[in-house]
Amino acid sequence: MSHEVHARLEGVTRVYPAVAGNPPVHALGPIDLDLRKGEFFSIVGPSGCGKSTCMDVLAGLAAPTEGNVWFEDKRVHGNVPDGIGAVFQEDASFPWLTVEDNAAFGLRRAGVDAAEIRRRVDYALGFVGLKDFAKAYPAQLSGGMRQRVCIARTLVLQPRLILLDEPFGALDAQTRLLMGDELLKLWRETGATVLLITHALDEAAMLSDRIGAMSARPGRFLETVETGWSRDRDSRMLEGETFGHITGRLWQMLRSESQRAMGHEGGVA
Partner 1 sequence: MNRLTLIRLGVIVAFFGLLEILCRTGVISPFTMIPPSEMAIELWALIVSGEVARGMRQTLGNVAVACILAITVGFAVGAGVHALPRLRRALDPFLTTYYAVPFFVFYPLLVFIFGMNNFPMIMIGFLFAVVAMIINTLNGLDKIPRVYRKVARMHHMGRAKTALLIELPYAIPNLFTGVKLAVAYSFIGVIAAEFILAPGGLGYAISFAYDNFDNETMYALMLFILVLVTIINMSLHAYEQRLLRRQGR
Q: Which residues bind partner 1 (CB under 8 A)?
A: 56, 59-61, 80, 82, 84-86, 88, 90-92, 94-97, 105-106, 109, 137-140, 154
Under a CB-based contact definition with an 8 Å cutoff, are residues 234 and 207 in contact? no
Q: Least distance to partner 1 from the beta carbon of 32, Å?
A: 24
Under a CB-based contact definition with an 8 Å cutoff, are residues 128 and 151 in contact? yes
Which residue's CB is nearer to partner 1, number 97 or number 134? 97
DSSP-derived letter for residue 129 is T
Which residue's CB is nearer to partner 1, number 71 or number 221? 71
Residue 211: alpha-carbon gap to chain centroid: 12
Q: Least distance to partner 1 from the beta carbon of 150, Å?
A: 8
- For the chain, the distance separating the N- and C-terminal CA atoms, rounded to the nearest angstrom, is 40
Q: Least distance to partner 1 from the beta carbon of 194, Å?
A: 15
Which residue's CB is nearer to partner 1, number 3 or number 109? 109
What CA–CA distance (Å, rounded) separates 103 from 112?
A: 13
Q: Least distance to partner 1 from the beta carbon of 98, Å?
A: 10
- DSSP SS3 for 29: strand
Residue 101: alpha-carbon gap to chain centroid: 23
Neighbours of 193 (CB within 10 A): 25
What CA–CA distance (Å, rounded) separates 43 from 10?
A: 16
Q: Least distance to partner 1 from the beta carbon of 266, Å?
A: 36
Which residue's CB is nearer to partner 1, number 154 or number 247? 154
Which residue's CB is nearer to partner 1, number 136 or number 237? 136
